[in-house]
Structure 1
Amino acid sequence: MRIPIPYLITLLLITFSQAGTKAQHKPGFLEFMHHPWVDSTLQTMTPEQKIGQLFIIQAYSENEKKTDELIAEIQNFQVGGILFMQGTAANQATITNQLQKHSNIPLLITMDAEWGPGFRLKDGPKYPVQMALGAIQQDSLIYRMGHEIGQQLKRLGVHVNFAPVADVNNNPGNPVINYRSFGENPNNVVRKTWLYAKGMQDAGVLAVAKHFPGHGDTKTDSHLALPVIQHDSTRLNTIELYPFRALADSGIGGMMTAHLQVPALEPNPNLPSSLSPRIIQKKLVEEFGFDGLVVTDGMNMSGVTKYFNSGEAAVRALAAGNDMLEIVPNLSEAITAVKTALQEKIISNEEIDWKCRKVLALKKWLELDRYQPAAAKNLTADLDNPRYTLTKRLLHEQSLTLLNNEDSLLPLQRLDTLRIAVVSLGKENTTSFQRMTANYLDVDFFNLKKNATHLELSQLVTRLKNYNLLICGLHNLSLSPSRNYGTDPLWQEFMKGTADKKQVAVLLGNPYALNFIPGIENTASLLIAYQENAITEELAAQAIFGAININGKLPVNVNSTFKLNDGLEVKKNDRLKYTIPEEAGISSPYLERRIDSLANLGLKEKAYPGCQVLIAVDGKVILHKCYGHLTYEQNQPLEKDHLYDWASITKITGPLPILIKLHGENKYNLDLPFSFYYPPFRNTDKEKITTREILAHQARFQPWISFWRNALTQSGELQHSVFHPQPDPGFNIRVSSQLFMNQDHIQDMLGEIRDSRLLPTTKYTYSDLGFLLFPFITKDLTGQNYESYLRTTFYRPLGASTVTFNPFNYFPLERFVPTENDDYFRQEQLRGFVHDESAAMFGGVSGNAGLFGTANDLAKIMQMYLQYGRYGGEQLLDSASIAEFTRIQYPKNENRRGLGFDKPYIDNHKKKLKEAYPAVDASELSFGHSGYTGTFTWVDPQKRVLFIFFSNRIYPTRNNSKLFDLNIRPAMHQVIYDSLKKGHSNR
């Protein structure tokens, strides 16, 4: 059951307000202390069985061969629980079920799952480390994480999590706690520890806070020796002990006792805190009033074994107030010693009974009296639930902490002014961080491997001289302090060598590492991501470009420059975010299954050799996927960075942004005769035709003119006066790789348009002719030619660096998706040359066709339209003008068109899917366009949906209508709306 977040936060605030007064909240399992099952079970147990219930033994699910040994220990000693260490989820579930079969009393299955099952399991879910969580300001996410970890552990058959860490880490050199702590602020630690624990316990798993009385200010690892905490009582009560007292008041179920030497609480220098009655019984149980389960840290750690053997340590631990002992090195010796201590009245039978009763009550709370085995079926799928992935992404995102931001550099603005090099320090190969930055802008990648030579560093610095911004990812770091957190001394030299450049530095690791990278404090922007994985790398890159907010706060003091709670807030700027469907309220499996099915149907029926689908909802790209190959020969798989011929999508991405901008600036009147802007139409039958009529395809123009056929000889050959096979003098209009046109022929084609016969009636007739003319009026209106104006005013500011005419001038052949094998005009496979014959004869630069680009770059343009002209923090187009251009202009004439934009069929929502265009559920505010080559794009401002479908359906020939016959594009489009409805209904 999901608990409403507002109610939860209110409840938790009440809990915190009561903390520190008296222990009003007790662990839930205590209500079963006198349950009939507990009573009857205890009555039937022998003293040996009661003692056995107080021990937890260790298991490794990666080693199934030792299962027989575990079974023997369970049968011989009647142990109370199992602590699982490294392994896999399936193995652990299998071994758990085997062990439970051989135990008379169901076993407590425990784990150290500090940031989820993945803390121990190779294939388990893994959330951010606690230091990263300490930076988060939206605390409800911590509860959500705790609840999910509880669900995952229950699914695995785990009942107790030895987490969260409640230590206040204020020692940068701490070798064992450090990044495992929520940080240095005791209040932050308390709040987040309790939210984590509360979420887990609400999911039915006992939370155990550790390591009492506080392991945060140590330089020694208690696994290896006995650390000493030298502080006085006042300091201990306000820092180290404070979280444990507050958690005891709040109702946490368990506490783990640490092996520490604390002179202010225990004068014996050789007595670990875990074995001290003064610290456990007097302080934790009596003074703090903690009635929950008290468990020792591993009794095999040197902090204990250095001074005591297994038997003496076990007796001392139980006598000190612990209820259960974890990983005793010699179990037989320990149990024998406890039995002897009972006989010698060092420990009373009542004490053992009470501890055993507590363990049984916990098992009853966990419903182990009705034990059910962990189901193996669908275990992996259940643990891989995308909902868990979303929480992990949101936690990483909200932990991002910005420590420097000189001149408000982030989020990056004016992309058209930036020459960016993205440098990954510590990595040899291209990183996820680099690849994500390339989604926003054309950038260059550089790498400097770990332990590079000075020569390699010098060569890199030289290669970076021509860039005005460096984005540097610091990779391959260690979370722990050993070897200076994994920093490379060469990085300091890199910082010096590039100090003249404006830099954005991203530390993908522990913020304490900043102390070992001199010069990094001088970078213009410094972003901390706390960990290195694909998610943190991608989110850090997105934050730099403004796709997400940055609001994390440093949870520790790093040095005199970077202090506790430092962190600059930066608001996102409406650029596209790249995430998973769940962030838009959509089920990943449902969306992908249906899109995959339709895409693969097209491949199977040979509607196209390959296709690409991009879907964004609410500014979030939630699916971008390629299917198939460039051709039916299947020599090259289709990839996201392949460039498509957009065909008629050029109409809404070429002339339209110019006209919308000029209209918004009152420099273009849609209702003046087009001849006012295009003088050749004056004194013709087209003189009074308006731009509005042309854009709405209601100007009575012919649908097209076959210019190339009009340039044939009577025998069907291309006229030599018009076309040459090479670029001879005067023949500099490149039509294809082996065909060049006489530049003077452009005037002949314009004359053909001018002199073309108008249709007899005013009605909707789709026509390219008017769009062919818009490039010719751009220079008079803007002072720049059509192509350069588009590039400098729109494409570069948007970061749409692949969008271009005549892409063969800029990109290698292998980047292009072939369109058609043209065996009638250009006599070649068209690849990188515009397919549309008219656009080709206008030099590949036209208003009806000619643009190429990636789906990702088209998405930027369409998202800008969806956001009514705003993108990347800039208002590129007037919102009122976009509203005007995207409304139906002549509905009474059965004309669905906007101004240049296509619109849904009139009464589209009343139609069946096979009759609708595009999707049935596309709102009346939606708009887009399709392209003859098999391209399609549509946005819906009302539903915040963006859809792009790319295919080369005309390869190898245009005589292929299967894309339309199968209704693939409207069907895919409808899947998005279906997914939204399904997602919302399941919330």
Structure 2
Amino acid sequence: MHRVTRPKTIARGPKVPAAVAPAFTQYLHSPWVDSLMRALTPDQRVAQLFMVAAYSNRQRIDEDSVSALVQQYGVGGLIFFQGGPVRQSKLLNRYQAQARVPLLVALDGEWGAGMRLDSIEKFPYQMSLGAVAGADTALLYGMGAEVARQFRRLGIHVNFAPVVDVNNNAANPVIGFRSWGENPAAVARASRQYMRGLQDAGVLAVAKHFPGHGDVDVDSHLALPTVRVDRRRLDSLELPPFRNLIANGLGGVMVAHLNVPALDSTGTPTTLSRPVITGMLRGQLGFNGLIFTDAMNMKGVTSRYPPGEADVRALQAGNDILEFSRNVPLALQMVRAAVDSGRISQKEIDQHCRRVLALKQWAGLRHYQPVALQNLVADLNPPHARYLSHRLTELSLTLLRNQKSLLPLRRLDTLRVATLVLGGALRDTTAFQKAVADYVPTAHFHAAANPTLDELVRLREALKPYNLVLVSLQSLGRLPATNFGITPEANVLLRELAGQQQTLVLSVFGSAYAVAKVRDLDRAAAVVLAYQESPDAQSLAAQLIFGGVGAQGTLPVTVANNLPRGFGLKTEGGLRLRYANPEDVGLDGRLEARVDSLVGRALAVQAVPGCQVVVARNGTVVLRKSYGNQTYAGEIIVENEWNARNGKNKLMDKNASSAFSHSSTSSTLTKPRLVADDDLYDLASLTKLLAATPALLRLQQEGKFSPDSTLGNYFPFLRGTNKANLNMREVLAHQARLKAWIPFWKELTNRRGGLRRRYFRADSSARFPLLVARGLWGSRKLPARINKEIGASPLNTKPGYVYSDLSFMLYPQLVRARSGLAFEDFLRRDVYRPLGATTLGFRPARRFPLARIVPTEYDSTFRRQLLHGTVHDEGAALLGGFSGHAGLFGNANDVAKLVQTYAWGGHYGGQQLFDKKILADWTSCQFCPDNRRGLAFDRPAADPGVNFAKSSTPAAYGHTGFTGTAFYVEPQYGLVVVFLANRVHPTRRNGKLSELGVRTGLMQVVIESVLNP
């Protein structure tokens, strides 16, 4: 007769709500389970209770050892650790093919499969999620469902999550950031949603670490921690989350290696304690699911019990599955001996085995299919996963200090900003720094976590010119023993910086408990806690600082007396562009894939070498992406070779300077440079809307310009000409009978086609100050000559719409006359700097390296060189690159800032840059139905598919540029779309971009993602 160990009597806790039976228990007596129980020998039933460790990043000998355990000993399951999804799936298919009974597969996926495997989207840590104010149940449930989808795609059935330990001990070395927080009710609420999401999507949730691992100061991997609290405390703090989940259908529980005298006075680890597992978990709490041990190779167990004996005691205690046994063959032998001797009954073994098999049927293993390898990585990273991770991170950001409501930052034009990364790689620009640079020009600095005194002095001096320093604490540790990575040297540096005449904003990318280790925290004007160092956390912290997103998170744990659990200051977002995902604003999550396809077709037929795309809805950028290359492969050649191929060795006549041969100005490039997000494009005619128009809007609201005046009123040299009385409203709407354009440069050549030395030189001087192209300078008399030609030009004989450059070439003169500032200076002061759109500007090679400026055309007739860093338009080139119709350069992100300002009625960054009523007038149709145009802005034609998307509404507006650029605003749907390309490279004769309808097609794709989300 078998002897059965009775559970020791322990104090009972409060009455527990009736437990909901886990879903898999419906299969406990199914025909499939019954048939397997009959087929399996007693030894094979025991083997089903072992779950062994497997890795996909180790040697073949390790893989073969697992195969032996599957084939020879018939173990019931695997728990995978480090590796990659494709490698792991290949390995799993091999193991499953070797198994007589399909294997139950588990993974520690507290923040998704990406916790263990590379190439998979990682979700935020649980403490980050604990900061999500109000524990957004829909998002946490959605995260659980998405993690389950990842698992199912990988052939995994069990997730050892959620962690439901209530972390109320800052010195806890093993839980900490893995816990939702220190409040039992909040932990229970969040855990329940994660559990429901997992199990509703077909993956077993395993709550851990029973009976509660949150109040320890020893790592159970290294020793056996003792929880020295009474039963009343356990019932009020540690156990409520377990009770709550059990009452709601929890499928699995993992038992920790703990010494809890209040539950078992013998000092036995809870993993091996029958009073704890069978007496309390099964008996008092009514748990009907599967009970897993924590890893049986941890010193919390192995320091007291040898291999085999620990496994026997674990089964005696009532565990169903033994995880990570140190010696499976020995353990199987000793368990069999324990059954034979009566230490464990066969009935108990069979109950455990039946539960395991029932779970296998629930998980779909009755109809096992191998993991399909095709599209595996793509399937594991759908847009919805990206959205969930990003959104949860955004909601978690916690603002701990905000003196004088500094955040979000305003008046960027008054700030000189530097970023300082403390810790991390000393040369790499971090995600935080890149995100800051998206908002404002920034100088980046780095320092080691423990800088020397000399380094501190140098850094302090280097930062003096800046009145705002954004410090980010990075590469922080997770262990209390290391002060969570906050070093004494870092504290000294922060004190020094705070003592200077600078405003200091501190962002902490680490544990909430790290904040308490920062001395003089109150010297910082603002403090942002981001909980972890993911790219999302870094980007979103910058967005919070600049008002792209608001601060919404609250502390999940107490950090200090003045920073208790639940504390978190609030700010509003929507002040500037936010960077998120399509689903954040109700767009189809497949938007990026559709844009990729559209742009991919354009690249394939060489409509453009590359491009930048920005898509925003309601001020949220949901797609910002660069495609292709700046040039085609091998297209940048030595320019004297180009000239030789075209029979042109000189740009001018026989007296031309030898400098014009350009024999050493560039070199052959066979590998083109990829387009980057911060590269600058020649914006061509977008200059009209991004330079001339904002300047005139500013002047109009200051009473210095009116569209109801005349050209002659603003340009004295036009008085007495046929243009003097042309109404500005008609001029700006392109129906004042002005010629479309004038090829000014053709009058500046001689009979042989060379440029006349009267107007051009190879070097700059007071007489030749206008940069026309590299190595080509124009006469200071050229602007006056152009003015004269415009004044003398005939008007079109027929009235009506004719798109014209001519008036826009003159507006810089109007701006100078009315404001007292040069055109670019006025724009920089009143528009670009307030927006933080400082890549927008003329003659970009003065401010940026050529590598960041995308080349345009090989001009074989006028300048006879590759146009790189100088304006493509000939007329703007003759004006030195400064004009109101062309000459502006910039990247798509900065273009989007100004276009979004239009979409927001002239408001951006807390400033009303343009009068809302004036702007509404400019964007509305002026002379419909005969002329579709607004003032400067283009609008949809009667057939929108001609110049706008076919689904554009009548309220849409925008513009296109000759070099391949475009922007569109769709007010009805809150959309802004920017497309920048150099379709004129290498020749303007390339019309494929328009033939394919890429720009209008892009807008159509975006509108469809609104209409069909």
C-alpha distance in 2 between matches for 1:465 and 1:514: 26
Matches within 5 A, 1:338-487: 338-426=335-423, 427-429=425-427, 430-487=429-486
> 1:926 — aligned with what?
956
Report the Cα offset of residue 743 of structure 1: 4.2
User: Aligned AA for 1:614?
Assistant: V
User: Aligned AA for 1:545?
Assistant: F
C-alpha distance in 1 between matches for 2:878 and 2:841: 17
Are 2:253 and 2:290, in contact at CA under 8 Å, matched by a contact in 1?
A: yes
Show structure 1 runs of 5+ residues with no match: 1-18, 910-915
> 2:906 — aligned with what?
869
TM-superposition CA deviations, 1:927-975 (whole Å, max 9, x none): 2222233332222222333333333344455444444445443344434
C-alpha distance in 1 between matches for 2:766 and 2:333: 104
Are 1:598 and 1:968, in contact at CA under 8 Å, matched by a contact in 2?
A: no
> 1:597 — aligned with what?
600
Report the Cα offset of residue 740 of structure 1: 4.9
Report the Cα offset of residue 848 of structure 1: 1.8
Q: Does 1:692 align with 2:721?
A: no
C-alpha distance in 1 between matches for 2:154 and 2:608: 45
C-alpha distance in 2 between matches for 1:693 and 1:390: 47
Are 2:50 and 2:77, in contact at CA under 8 Å, matched by a contact in 1?
A: yes
> 1:328 — aligned with what?
325
Report the Cα offset of residue 699 of structure 1: 0.7
C-alpha distance in 2 between matches for 1:218 and 1:356: 33
More deviation, 723-732/482-491? 723-732
Are 1:664 and 1:880, in contact at CA under 8 Å, matched by a contact in 2?
A: no
C-alpha distance in 2 between matches for 1:89 and 1:800: 41
Relative to structure 1, the CA distance from residue 83 to residue 817 in structure 2 (aligned partners, 3 Å threshold; closer, same or farther) is closer
Report the Cα offset of residue 668 of structure 1: 4.1
Report the Cα offset of residue 165 of structure 1: 0.8
C-alpha distance in 1 between matches for 2:282 and 2:138: 30
Q: Does 1:903 align with 2:939?
A: yes
Matches within 5 A, 1:53-92: 53-63=48-58, 64-92=60-88
> 1:279 — aligned with what?
276
C-alpha distance in 1 between matches for 2:48 and 2:876: 83
Are 2:212 and 2:238, in contact at CA under 8 Å, matched by a contact in 1?
A: yes
TM-superposition CA deviations, 1:725-764 (whole Å, max 9, x none): 5555555455445555554554454344334332233211
Matches within 5 A, 1:26-45: 26-45=21-40
Indicate which of 976, 980, 985 corresponds to 2:1006.
Answer: 976
> 2:681 — aligned with what?
644
> 1:567 — aligned with what?
568
Report the Cα offset of residue 799 of structure 1: 0.6
Indicate which of 97, 116, 123 corresponds to 2:112.
Answer: 116
> 1:951 — aligned with what?
981
Are 1:602 and 1:963, in contact at CA under 8 Å, matched by a contact in 2?
A: no
C-alpha distance in 2 between matches for 1:727 and 1:314: 86
Relative to structure 1, the CA distance from residue 418 to residue 772 in structure 2 (aligned partners, 3 Å threshold; closer, same or farther) is same
Are 2:630 and 2:854, in contact at CA under 8 Å, matched by a contact in 1?
A: no
More deviation, 421-430/587-596? 587-596
Matches within 5 A, 1:116-265: 116-137=112-133, 138-265=136-263
Are 2:163 and 2:178, in contact at CA under 8 Å, matched by a contact in 1?
A: yes
Q: Does 1:298 align with 2:295?
A: yes
C-alpha distance in 1 between matches for 2:834 and 2:697: 16
SS at match of 2:576: coil
Report the Cα offset of residue 577 of structure 1: 2.9
> 2:555 — aligned with what?
554
> 2:89 — aligned with what?
93
More deviation, 384-393/161-170? 384-393
Are 2:903 and 2:969, in contact at CA under 8 Å, matched by a contact in 1?
A: yes
Report the Cα offset of residue 372 of structure 1: 2.6
Are 1:54 and 1:79, in contact at CA under 8 Å, matched by a contact in 2?
A: yes
Report the Cα offset of residue 918 of structure 1: 2.9
Q: Does 1:488 align with 2:487?
A: yes
Q: Does 1:935 align with 2:965?
A: yes
C-alpha distance in 1 between matches for 2:1005 and 2:845: 35
C-alpha distance in 2 between matches for 1:809 and 1:70: 63
SS at match of 1:892: coil
TM-superposition CA deviations, 1:70-101 (whole Å, max 9, x none): 34434554433222222332333333333333
Are 1:586 and 1:980, in contact at CA under 8 Å, matched by a contact in 2?
A: no
Relative to structure 1, the CA distance from residue 968 to residue 341 in structure 2 (aligned partners, 3 Å threshold; closer, same or farther) is closer
> 2:503 — aligned with what?
502
More deviation, 249-258/538-547? 538-547
Report the Cα offset of residue 507 of structure 1: 1.4
User: Aligned AA for 2:230?
Assistant: D
User: Aligned AA for 1:601?
Assistant: A
Q: Does 1:878 align with 2:875?
A: no
> 1:8 — aligned with what?
none
Relative to structure 1, the CA distance from residue 724 to residue 36 in structure 2 (aligned partners, 3 Å threshold; closer, same or farther) is closer
C-alpha distance in 2 between matches for 1:655 and 1:292: 70
Report the Cα offset of residue 112 of structure 1: 1.8
TM-superposition CA deviations, 1:894-927 (whole Å, max 9, x none): x221110112222325xxxxxx223222332222
Scaled by the length of structure 1, the TM-score of the pair is 0.91
Report the Cα offset of residue 418 of structure 1: 0.8
C-alpha distance in 1 between matches for 2:854 and 2:580: 26
> What number of residue pairs does the alignment pair up?
954
User: Aligned AA for 2:616?
Assistant: A
Report the Cα offset of residue 155 of structure 1: 1.6
C-alpha distance in 2 between matches for 1:439 and 1:152: 32
> 1:5 — aligned with what?
none
Q: Does 1:811 align with 2:807?
A: no
User: Aligned AA for 1:214?
Assistant: G
User: Aligned AA for 2:110?
Assistant: E
Report the Cα offset of residue 469 of structure 1: 0.5
Indicate which of 311, 315, 322 corresponds to 1:314.
Answer: 311
Are 2:171 and 2:480, in contact at CA under 8 Å, matched by a contact in 1?
A: yes
Matches within 5 A, 1:524-923: 524-580=525-581, 583=584, 584-587=587-590, 590-603=593-606, 607-618=607-618, 619-630=620-631, 632-633=635-636, 634=669, 636-637=672-673, 638-664=675-701, 668-682=705-719, 684-710=721-747, 726-729=763-766, 731-738=768-775, 740-741=777-778, 743=780, 746-779=783-816, 781-782=818-819, 784-822=821-859, 824-826=861-863, 829-893=866-930, 895-909=931-945, 916-923=946-953
Are 2:554 and 2:567, in contact at CA under 8 Å, matched by a contact in 1?
A: yes
C-alpha distance in 1 between matches for 2:959 and 2:727: 22
Relative to structure 1, the CA distance from residue 720 to residue 480 in structure 2 (aligned partners, 3 Å threshold; closer, same or farther) is same
Aligned residues with identical type, % of pairs: 43
C-alpha distance in 2 between matches for 1:102 and 1:705: 79
C-alpha distance in 2 between matches for 1:288 and 1:417: 62
Report the Cα offset of residue 807 of structure 1: 3.1
More deviation, 311-320/497-506? 311-320
Relative to structure 1, the CA distance from residue 643 to residue 335 in structure 2 (aligned partners, 3 Å threshold; closer, same or farther) is closer
Relative to structure 1, the CA distance from residue 608 to residue 153 in structure 2 (aligned partners, 3 Å threshold; closer, same or farther) is closer
Are 2:450 and 2:490, in contact at CA under 8 Å, matched by a contact in 1?
A: no
C-alpha distance in 2 between matches for 1:716 and 1:39: 95
C-alpha distance in 1 between matches for 2:149 and 2:864: 63
C-alpha distance in 2 between matches for 1:290 and 1:687: 90
User: Aligned AA for 2:22?
Assistant: P
Report the Cα offset of residue 550 of structure 1: 2.2
C-alpha distance in 2 between matches for 1:309 and 1:382: 43
Are 2:205 and 2:250, in contact at CA under 8 Å, matched by a contact in 1?
A: yes
Relative to structure 1, the CA distance from residue 544 to residue 283 in structure 2 (aligned partners, 3 Å threshold; closer, same or farther) is same
Two-structure CA RMSD over aligned residues (Å): 2.8
Relative to structure 1, the CA distance from residue 229 to residue 837 in structure 2 (aligned partners, 3 Å threshold; closer, same or farther) is same
C-alpha distance in 1 between matches for 2:122 and 2:515: 25
